[in-house]
DNA sequence: TGACATGGCTAACATCGTTAGCCATAATGG
DNA sequence: CCATTATGGCTAACGATGTTAGCCATGTCA
């Protein structure tokens, strides 16, 4: 669960580690309840069950009344994503400090995988589709991604390692690996590659450019409504 | 575009390379048209535009008439996924044979990234959410994933590398990297890690087990209807 | 020629997110 | 102390979505 604003035991920051960002914009009691209920429904009954009517039901009211507290479903999902990012940040930062049995990099991977596996639907919701970046609390995204930098010491390597972790997590959640795959071995293989890569100088490679790779011109995605404040 | 069943110039197979799987189950002319139209709509107008009514419109008929050819929207999407897997397999197998300017591993990554970037919405559709494995043509999945094994020589390493590629692709498509990120550098960093890892003996690592990491008990996803044949 | 399969159509339904507009109660201010 | 306003519920309803039921024209073929 998310501990909004309550100060944690102040562990000394590691070199390169960011401090926890300001708490997210204050939430009404009722909004907090709605988010909690939504989270419960999402995780226990799946994403299809998370409808405005079902959510209202869970709160003992009718669907239209939800709009007295939330601007719409997109707003609700944004709040869930906020929670997920806070939780993920907490879990991964903790992995940096806890005396895990392995290397920091491996501890981080283990923590990330465990985080995702224990709340798969929330993880999927928070990491799939275009991100509504400007609606998130200031600094949250940076803080949540910071452990990957702390562990690798390089921003490109950090992004690559996070990509690997996310890729493995989401493919595992979606059952995309061939049946019978030894996923632990897959994670191990990935960890090994980066464990070795992180220790090595950043630019021992030929200057390869990806310039031939470009995005298809103006490929539309789904529009995402900007966040509205509590009404 | 997909070249269903038409034989390609028979390039000699590389060691470990799988042969192209049998062509997908025959599609009616009308079904083929529907899939083509759907693909056009999806890529040019985004996933939200891919509606049964919109698709019917594109074909000059009314929505209910679509059900004379397809069992439902899930069926249509499955056909799109089939196409995407064939195309991806073609692109990546070609990367193995073309005299690319780089190492095989790098050539593969470049091809994969380019493939995804040129049809982002189809890629997202084909790789997001639970896979309806039993509805896919026999051998398609294995064949499409085979290049990753050819390049790494090890199944765990192959899955990890594919995970990295998918992670980077999907995060790039969804704009999940912090603004201003040098994504080429990220891909380079990832490639380097695996370039080095692939050359090394598979088991130079301590025997790490992930046994503490388990899935949340019975977390529901969205049910997926099994594929029905053409009606 | 008649039976049947093919492939269109309209009408309609359930479910979804969402809006409009009503009303009771609580809070607030002259 | 009462009037006014804000809060937060409600019902009714709308438009979009996937989908089904049932009708009918046309072509195929025994």
For chain A, list the domains and their CATH numbers: 26-70 (1.10.10.60), 83-198 (1.10.357.10)
For chain A, say whether B114 makes contact (Cβ under 8 Å): yes
Q: From residues 82-121 of B, which are strand C contacts by CB within 7 A? A: none
CA torsion, ordered B198, B203, B208, B209, to nearest 10 deg: 90
- Hey, of A41, A101, A208, A218, which one would you mutate to test binding to chain B, going by the most B CBs within 10 A of its CB? A208
For chain B, say whether A120 makes contact (Cβ under 8 Å): yes
- Hey, of B111, B138, B148, B186, which one would you mutate to test binding to chain A, going by the most A CBs within 10 A of its CB? B186
Could you read off the pLDDT of A50-83 as tens digits, one per residue? Answer: 999 999 999 999 999 999 999 999 999 999 999 9
B221, A170: Cβ pair inside 8 Å?
no
Q: Return the pLDDT at A22.
A: 57
State yes or no: pLDDT of B9 exceeds 80. no
The closest of A20, A81, A165, A145 to B177, measured between CA atoms, is A145
Å from the B25 CA to the D30 C1': 30
Q: Return the pLDDT at A23.
A: 64
Band of pLDDT at residue B230, cut at 50, 70 and 90:
very low
User: Measuring CA to CA, how many Å separate B10 from each of A83, B7, B85, B140?
Assistant: 53, 8, 20, 18
Could you read off the pLDDT of A82-138 as tens digits, one per residue? Answer: 999 999 999 999 999 987 788 899 999 999 999 999 999 999 999 998 888 889 998
Could you read off the pLDDT of B46-55 as tens digits, one per residue? Answer: 999 999 999 9
| Residue closest to sugar C1' of D6 by CA | A231
Residues in chain A, how many? 231
Nearest CB to A197 within list B163, B182, B192: B192
% of chain B surpassing 70 pLDDT? 81
Give the C-alpha separation, B135 to B133, whole Å.
5
Q: Return the pLDDT at B202.
A: 39
**Hey, CA dihedral for B47, B174, A207, A192, is it positive or negative?**
negative
Band of pLDDT at residue B218, cut at 50, 70 and 90:
low
User: Measuring CA to CA, how many Å separate B54 from each of B28, B37, B61, B123?
Assistant: 20, 10, 10, 21
């Amino acid at each position: 669960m998310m501990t909004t604003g309550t100060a944690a035991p102040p562990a000394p920051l590691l070199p390169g580690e960011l401090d926890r960002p300001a708490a997210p914009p204050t939430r009404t009691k009722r909004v907090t309840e709605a988010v909690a209920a939504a989270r419960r429904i999402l995780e226990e009954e799946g994403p299809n069950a998370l409808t405005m009517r079902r959510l209202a039901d869970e709160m003992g009211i009718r669907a239209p009344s939800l709009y007295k507290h939330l601007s719409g479903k997109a707003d609700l999902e944004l709040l869930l994503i906020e929670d997920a990012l806070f939780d993920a940040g907490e879990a991964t930062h903790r992995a940096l400090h806890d005396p895990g049995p392995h290397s920091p990099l491996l501890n981080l991977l283990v923590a990330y995988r465990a985080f995702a596996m224990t709340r798969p639907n929330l993880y999927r919701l928070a990491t799939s589709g275009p991100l509504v970046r400007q609606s998130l609390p200031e600094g949250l995204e940076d803080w949540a991604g910071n452990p990957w930098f702390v562990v690798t010491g390089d921003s490109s390597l950090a992004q690559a390692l996070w990509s690997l972790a996310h890729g493995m997590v989401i493919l595992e959640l979606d059952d995309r690996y061939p049946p019978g795959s030894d996923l632990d071995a897959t994670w191990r293989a990935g960890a090994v590659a980066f464990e070795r890569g992180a220790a090595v100088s950043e630019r021992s490679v030929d200057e390869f450019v990806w310039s031939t790779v470009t995005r298809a011109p103006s490929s539309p995605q789904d529009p995402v409504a900007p966040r509205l404040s509590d009404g």
